[in-house]
Amino acid sequence: MGRRFSASIVPPSGLRSLLLRSSRVSERRPGASGQESRRIRAQESLLEAPARLEFQDAETLRDVRRFDEDIIAWHRERTGWSLDLEDESVRLLRAPSVLPIRPFHADLQLRGPADYPREPRDYACVVWTLWFAQSPVVTGRGTSRAFLLTELAEHVQRQAAAGSSDAPFDFSLRSDRGCLRRALRLLESLGVVREDDGNTDAWVEQRGDGAAANAVYRFTDLVISLIAPLRVSSARMLADRLGSDPTSVAPASIGDGRPKETRYWRALLGAPSFLRYDDPEAFDALWDDRRRVERDLQDVGDWQLHMTRWFARLVRPSGVRGGARPVLSTLRSADQAALLLCSVIRQAVRSGRWPRPDDEFGCVAVTADDLTLLLDEVAADHLERWSDELRSRGDRFETVVTIMRQAGLVRGPDREGRVLVLPTAALYHVTYAERERPEREAPVPARQLTFFGEVS
Residue-by-residue pLDDT tens, the chain, 456 positions = 444 555 444 433 332 334 333 333 334 444 456 777 888 777 777 777 655 555 556 677 777 777 778 888 888 889 988 877 766 667 777 777 777 654 444 334 444 445 556 677 888 898 899 989 988 888 888 777 899 999 999 999 998 887 656 678 899 999 899 999 989 988 887 778 999 988 898 999 887 654 568 999 999 877 776 666 666 666 676 667 666 666 778 887 776 678 999 999 998 888 888 999 999 999 999 999 999 999 998 888 778 899 999 999 988 766 555 445 566 777 788 889 999 999 999 999 999 999 999 999 999 999 999 999 999 999 998 888 888 778 777 788 988 988 888 888 999 898 899 999 999 999 888 888 765 444 544 544 444 444 554 443
The predicted structure's pLDDT at residue 101: 55
User: Can you spell out the DSSP letters for 375-412?
Assistant: HHHHHHHHGGGS-HHHHSHHHHHHHHHHHHHHTTSEE-
Using CA atoms, how far apart are residues 248 and 242, in angstroms rounded to an integer?
Answer: 8
Of all helices (H) and strands (E), which one includes residue 440?
Answer: none
**What's the one-letter identity of residue 401?**
V
Confidence at residue 455, expressed as pLDDT on a 0 to 100 scale: 41
Between CA 340 and CA 379 the distance in angstroms is 9
For residues 113 and 98, give the distance between their C-alpha atoms in angstroms, rounded to a whole number.
28
Point out which residues pair with 448 in neighbouring strands: 455
Q: Which fold has domain 333-455?
A: Arc Repressor Mutant, subunit A (1.10.10)
d(CA 365, CA 355): 7
**Coil, strand, or helix at residue 208?**
helix
Residue 415, number of CB atoms within 10 A of its CB? 11
Answer whether 25's CB lies under 8 Å from 35's CB.
no
Long-range contacts of 265-268 (CB under 8 A, 24+ apart): 265/78, 265/79, 265/293, 266/79, 266/80, 266/81, 266/94, 266/95, 266/96, 266/97, 266/98, 267/96, 267/97, 267/98, 268/293, 268/305, 268/312, 268/313, 268/314
